């Protein structure tokens, strides 16, 4: 497994955990949308690079 795929999967995992927590416990702060969007884009790009 290459490093880009592992980092992509790690970012995807963090994104999914934060998205779930923000819904379950109403975790919300001003920049949450931008952080989640950035994580999603970064994870997607790194996963696509590997394929």
In the chain, what are the domain boundaries?
A: 3-50
CB burial of residue 42 (10 Å; 0-12, 13-18, 19+): middle
Match 């980092």 to its residue by tokens: 7
Strands (E), the chain: none
Per-residue pLDDT for 32 more than 80?
A: yes
pLDDT for the residue 51? 63
Distances 19 to 24, 37, 49 between C-alpha atoms, Å: 9, 10, 24
Average pLDDT in the 4-23 region?
A: 83
Per-residue pLDDT for 3 more than 60?
A: yes
Under the banding of pLDDT at 50, 70 and 90, the label for residue 33 is confident
Q: pLDDT tens digits, residue range 14-27?
A: 888 888 888 888 86
pTM of the model: 0.71
Structure tokens at 27: 């975790």
């Amino acid at each position: 497994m290459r490093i880009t795929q592992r980092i992509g999967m790690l970012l995807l995992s963090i994104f999914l955990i934060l998205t779930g927590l923000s819904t379950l416990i109403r975790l919300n702060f001003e920049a949450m949308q931008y952080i989640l969007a950035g994580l999603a884009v970064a994870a997607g790009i790194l996963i696509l690079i590997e394929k």
